[in-house]
């Protein structure tokens, strides 16, 4: 009897042991989400990130479309900045060459040219500070030119095809914002002169749009509805707000400390809600840098691949349903023909 009890205890100990979790297969599920389960999962995801209503009178913009728009505008602006810097650097270099030629011609006439002077001219190169002439005004060098192109400033508002309005409070906008956005609190709608100067510049202008956003679609739908009712037809709301933009394009668009409602709620092992992480992004940046634009392009490729895989799965499901419908139709027609012959 004692021997049997020890065997039972050993079996209980084996069953009570926890299986070690492999992080490689942590996200693998017991079944594949296809067909109706995949559509239900998609609906649940939309409900988490969006607040759709049947009576919406404003238009929505997906975060992927917004990313494409902003990246294209930023790339065009960076190209224009590079062209302007190249033009100014070439003009400065030609002016320096002219002054150097004049000083050298004067030195040759005076006969005061030394070998040390010529050697320093060759070593310093074009665009460096002239040591012999005593001028302390530095001109454009290769290092200064690269530094000036790396720090890209924000373009003028009238040159942009969109006006980006943050409808949250001023304090929240100062804490975290999308690069290139202006603060327009929702309380401004209660004033008589509710439209700002920037809004009047973009109101119903061809080729211009006004994009409003908030953190999680609690304020922006109301603001977009009121603006459309007051005659501003080119108002578009960023669908999903900061929450979905941070989920799809992290470290790409925001500057500052991200708010807590910009993150999806997370649960620990015991099912209790976790505190949101303290994420700080792109502090002190006024416009999109080359690294940010490259990261946006990479994220856009990932989103496009997800959309293509989703479309292919939809196409496979529709083709399967069509094939099953045709086969069932053919079987019913054959059964009807056989019954007629009988």
Residue-range domain boundaries for the chain: 54-75+156-297
Structure tokens at 44: 């649940």
Asked if pLDDT for residue 98 goes beyond 70, the answer is no
- With contact defined as beta carbons under 8 Å apart, do 41 and 49 qualify? no
Q: What is the pTM of this model?
A: 0.63
Q: Give the residue-averaged pLDDT of 258-275.
A: 80
Q: How does residue 128 score in pLDDT terms, banded at 50, 70 and 90?
A: very low
Statement: residue 165 has pLDDT above 80: yes
Whether pLDDT at 117 is above 90? no
Summarised one tens digit per residue, pLDDT across range 232-241 is 999 999 999 9
Task: Name which of 233, 228, 237, 279 is nearest 258 in CA terms.
Answer: 279
CA distance 249 to 261: 16
Highest mean pLDDT pick, 88-92, 133-137, 155-159, 322-326: 155-159
Does the 54-75+156-297 domain belong in CATH 2.40.50.140? no
Read off the pLDDT of residues 32-77 as tens digits, 9 standing for 90 and up. 655 555 566 666 666 666 777 888 999 999 999 999 999 999 888 8
Specify the pLDDT at position 207: 93
Q: Answer yes or no: is pLDDT of 259 > 60.
A: yes
């Amino acid at each position: 009897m004692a021997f049997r009890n020890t065997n039972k205890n050993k079996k209980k100990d084996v069953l009570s042991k926890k299986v070690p979790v492999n992080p490689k297969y942590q996200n693998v599920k017991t079944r594949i989400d296809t067909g109706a389960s995949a559509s239900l999962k998609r609906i649940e995801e939309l409900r988490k990130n969006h607040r759709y209503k049947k009576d919406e009178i404003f238009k929505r913009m997906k975060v992927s479309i917004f990313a494409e728009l902003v990246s294209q505008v930023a790339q065009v602006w960076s190209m224009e900045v590079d062209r302007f810097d190249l033009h100014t650097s070439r003009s400065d270099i030609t002016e320096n060459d002219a002054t150097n030629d004049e000083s050298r011609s004067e030195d040759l006439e005076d006969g005061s040219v030394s070998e040390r002077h010529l050697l320093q001219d060759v070593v310093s190169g074009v665009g460096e500070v002239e040591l012999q002439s005593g001028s302390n005004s530095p001109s454009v060098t290769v290092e200064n030119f690269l530094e000036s192109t790396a720090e890209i400033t924000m373009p003028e508002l009238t040159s942009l095809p969109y006006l980006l309005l943050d409808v949250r409070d001023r304090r929240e906008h100062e804490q975290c914002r999308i690069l290139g956005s202006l603060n327009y609190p929702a309380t401004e709608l209660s004033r008589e002169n509710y439209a700002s100067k920037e809004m009047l510049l973009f109101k119903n202008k061809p080729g211009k749009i006004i994009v409003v956003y908030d953190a999680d679609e609690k304020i922006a739908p109301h603001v977009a509805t009121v603006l459309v009712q007051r005659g501003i037809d080119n108002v578009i709301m960023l669908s999903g707000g900061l929450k979905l933009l941070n989920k799809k394009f992290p470290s790409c668009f925001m500057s500052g400390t991200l708010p807590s409602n910009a993150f999806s709620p997370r649960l620990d092992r015991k099912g209790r809600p976790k505190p949101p992480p303290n994420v700080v992004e792109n502090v002190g940046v006024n416009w999109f840098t080359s690294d940010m634009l490259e990261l946006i392009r990479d994220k856009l490729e990932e989103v496009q691949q997800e959309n293509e895989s989703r479309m292919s799965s939809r196409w496979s499901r529709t083709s399967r349903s069509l094939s099953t419908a045709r086969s069932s139709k053919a079987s019913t027609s054959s059964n009807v023909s056989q019954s007629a012959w009988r």
